[in-house]
């Protein structure tokens, strides 16, 4: 097997950002509207604060405004829900992102569900999940959307291929499985109760690792010529796939970092842009 294609997420993210930037200028010129993403940070968890800051900066670079809403860690559920409601009602806000996780005394699912699906650009509501499953595509959870964008950018065929997804979380494993199914892949979903994950992965034409365990997917499990997408991101910049050994077997592989991660943020920008265009009557899809 020759060298695999490196599925360069930074390149894909750059292409998405350029497109969003152009569309933002067009929307400004045509309608005088600047898209706006509201981010809600509850409490003072440093990693969450960093993620929110990164997302705000990414918006700024492509001509999207961001409104940062910071709430105290001891906020009540009612106050959180009314904050979300007021953002739902604000016509200047096109997207709402509630940074996960929120403090444990709060019901995160209820808070997610309070987001208007038309503004759910992070794809966390059950309405968005249902639409993803039914193939409306508005708006899938960002990491699954990013994975499909990477595969499309590199013209990786999915129809008729056997995709094995390791992980079934509501934000990643399950929705990416639906997106792959919508593309006519035959999908196997593995989880913590799956018997012999290695044997399932060994049959895959496309492997998506979304386990949250460093180097869980071993190189020797990978079928010769398979496409390997590593959504994992563990401390020390380590993915969920054993990279070096998988590199020897794969026909294409995402690096960590620089694979799925950058495209996830770019997808959030793209979906905010789509929401703004839709509310301005430019994009009815
Ligand atoms: P999660 O909610 O912890 O889900 C992990 C999934 O892996 C679960 O479905 C779990 O199965 C499954 N699993 C755990 N142990 C397993 C085993 N031994 N065999 C088979 N399956 C097993 O994690 P997540 O939020 O989906 O995130 C997964 C990874 O993606 C993490 O590394 C995270 O950092 C990364 N991530 C990256 C991005 C990005 O933008 N790149 C975004 C989000 C997440 P059960 O359902 O049976 O428990």
So what's the pLDDT on residue 138? 87
Nearest CA to 272 out of 121, 127, 115, 129 is that of 121
- 238-256 pLDDT, tens digit per residue, is 999 999 999 999 999 999 9
Residue 110 token pair = 């209820």
d(CA 176, CA 197): 18
* Every domain range in the chain assigned CATH 3.40.50.10860: 32-116
Q: Pick from 148, 191, 257 the residue to mutate for probing ligand 1's pocket: most ligand atoms within 8 Å of its CB.
A: 191
Residue 59 near residue 266 (C-beta atoms within 8 A): no
* Ligand 1 pocket test, candidate residues 50, 169, 240, 261, most atoms within 8 A of CB: 169
Catalytic residue list: 55, 99, 122
What is the per-residue pLDDT for 166? 98
Structure-token pair, residue 92? 């200047």
Please, how many CA atoms are within 13 Å of residue 239, restricted to the half-sphere of its CB? 26
Residue ranges of the chain with pLDDT lower than 50?
Answer: none
Indicate if ligand 1 lies below 6 Å from the C-beta of 169: yes
Protein residue with least CA distance to atom 16, ligand 1: 192
pLDDT at 1: 67
CATH class of 141-260: alpha beta
Model pLDDT, residue 284: 55
CATH 3.40.50.720 in the chain is located at 141-260
> What pLDDT, on the 0 to 100 scale, is given for residue 282?
87
pLDDT at 285: 56
CATH number assigned to the domain with residue range 32-116, chosen from the 4 options 3.40.50.10860, 3.40.50.1100, 1.10.10.60, 1.10.10.10: 3.40.50.10860
17 half-sphere exposure, CB direction, 13 A CA radius: 19
Answer yes or no: pTM beyond 0.75.
Answer: yes
């Amino acid at each position: 097997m020759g060298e695999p294609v490196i599925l360069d997420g930074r390149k894909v993210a750059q292409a998405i950002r350029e497109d969003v930037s152009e569309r933002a200028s067009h929307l400004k010129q045509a309608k005088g509207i600047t898209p706006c993403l509201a981010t809600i940070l509850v409490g003072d968890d440093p990693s969450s604060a960093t993620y929110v800051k990164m997302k705000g900066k990414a918006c700024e670079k492509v001509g999207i405004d961001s409104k940062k809403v910071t709430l105290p860690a001891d906020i009540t559920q009612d106050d959180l829900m009314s904050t979300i409601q007021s953002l739902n009602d604000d016509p200047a806000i096109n997207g709402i992102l509630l940074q996960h996780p929120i403090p444990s005394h709060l019901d995160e699912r209820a808070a997610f569900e309070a987001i208007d699906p038309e503004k759910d650009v992070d794809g966390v509501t059950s309405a968005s999940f249902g639409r993803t499953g039914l193939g409306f595509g508005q708006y899938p959870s960002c990491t699954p959307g990013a994975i499909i964008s990477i595969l499309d950018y590199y013209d990786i065929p999915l129809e008729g291929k056997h995709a094995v997804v390791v992980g079934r979380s509501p934000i990643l494993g399950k929705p990416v499985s639906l997106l792959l199914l919508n593309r006519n892949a035959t999908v196997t979903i593995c989880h913590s109760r799956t018997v012999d994950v290695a044997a399932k992965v060994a049959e895959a034409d496309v492997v998506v690792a979304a386990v949250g365990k460093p180097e869980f997917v071993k190189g020797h499990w990978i079928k010769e010529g398979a496409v390997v997408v590593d959504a994992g991101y563990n401390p020390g910049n380590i993915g969920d796939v054993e990279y070096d050994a998988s590199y020897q077997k794969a026909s294409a592989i995402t690096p960590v970092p620089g694979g799925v991660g950058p495209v996830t943020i770019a997808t959030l920008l793209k979906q905010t842009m789509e929401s703004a265009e839709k509310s301005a009557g430019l994009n009815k899809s």
